[in-house]
Amino acid sequence: MRFWESLNPAVIDRGVRKAIVDMQLSVLSISLGLYKIKNEKLFIKLGFKNITLYIENVCQENKIGRSTLFNWLKIGETYNKYHEELENIGFSDLDAPTKLPYLERALKKCAKDQVLFNLMNMSLREFSDFAKTSQEVPASEAPLWEEKGFVYDYQGKRAVIINSDLGDNVIKMMKAATRLGFRALERNGHVVAVHLDNADEVRRFRKIARRARRKMREKINSSYN
């Protein structure tokens, strides 16, 4: 289990502090740990009144600037908000997580596909400039689909309602499946369902599937040239 997935606040805290000291783990790992400590208010169980006091303590212990840790926290928050999109494009530490604080700003101005493509292919400076200088997208018709909590609209009509009493795990799975279906409709694509038994299988399968999809598309594109 990765340290930020632990249910024990002390394990997450130790993981964050150790990763900062030796940097054996990624910036993204540290960011996800910080996000969980803030989001689930684990700083209270660690003896701090708020996330700021916790971060200041970590900074003092490791001689690191507050702005760096708060930037890493922002990375964790952004990754969690857009984790499905980022996992779908195979985003990792190799793609410079320090670009993530600019992601939401870019998404407000440009089409999602363009933003995600640039996120994967631009340097940090190029992507930050892109996010800052792009023009606002003019207001147009309603989006093809829209998520409103437990309700999903399609072409302006109510399409899916998820019962909020189903339980967290069921709700999470139902929402993920619903989003996937709407994204496929949005791109005139298709959905293939694969049953996997646990989170470890999911992580392994995603890596294999991304590689297979990339090779398949490269082969198809080369046949057209």
Q: Encode the chain (225 residues) as per-residue pLDDT tens digits.
A: 667 677 788 888 877 777 776 654 578 888 999 999 998 899 999 899 999 999 999 898 888 888 989 999 999 999 988 888 888 888 877 778 899 999 998 988 888 888 888 898 888 888 898 888 876 555 454 578 888 778 888 887 889 999 988 888 888 889 888 988 888 888 777 888 888 888 788 778 877 887 887 788 777 767 655
- Distance CA(176)–CA(28), nearest Å, equals 22
Cross-strand bridge partners of residue 160: 152
Pairing, β 145-148 against β 151-154? antiparallel
- Distance CA(225)–CA(220), nearest Å, equals 9
Structure tokens at 179: 């989003």
Q: Write out pLDDT tens, residues 60-97.
A: 888 888 898 999 999 999 998 888 888 888 887 777 88
Query: Is the CB of residue 102 less than 8 Å from the CB of residue 90?
Result: no
- Distance CA(40)–CA(68), nearest Å, equals 21
Output the DSSP codes for the chain.
--GGG-S-HHHHHHHHHHHHHH--S-HHHHHHHHHHHHHTTHHHHTT-SSHHHHHHHHHHHHT--HHHHHHHHHHHHHHHHTHHHHHHTT--GGG-GGGGGGHHHHHTTS-HHHHHHHHHHS-HHHHHHHHHHSPPPPP-SPPSEEEETTEEEETTEEEEE--TTS-HHHHHHHHHHHHHHHHHHHTT--------SSHHHHHHHHHHHHHHHHHHHHHHHHHH-
Cross-strand bridge partners of residue 213: none
Order of strands across the sheet with 157-161?
A: 145-148, 151-154, 157-161
Domain boundaries, the chain: 1-81, 96-139, 145-224
